[in-house]
Amino acid sequence: MNKYTVKTPELCGALGVSRQTLHSWEAKGLFTPPRNMRGDRVFTKKQKKQIMKAFSPEGKKYWHFKSL
């Protein structure tokens, strides 16, 4: 089973932002997403929760994926 079950459209919906907003955050260095072998942004449910917390009104406004 693939642990990366959340894709960009689901994350955008949860955050209430567009795909373009995620691209903008990435370009500004505020957001570094994990990617699969094809280069698609993919997330675990835990990462989705972390990102939602980071970009909430009281959040730190940045989130970076750290590979092992």
Domain boundaries, the chain: 6-64
- Summarised one tens digit per residue, pLDDT across range 14-51 is 999 999 999 999 999 999 999 999 999 999 999 999 99
Full-prediction pTM beyond 0.85? yes
Q: CB neighbours (10 Å) of residue 43?
A: 22
Confidence band for 67, pLDDT divided at 50, 70 and 90? confident
Helices first, then strands: H and E counts in the chain:
3, 4
Architecture in CATH for domain 6-64? Orthogonal Bundle (1.10)
CA 45 from centre of chain: 10
Q: Determine the average pLDDT of the residues in 42-64.
A: 96
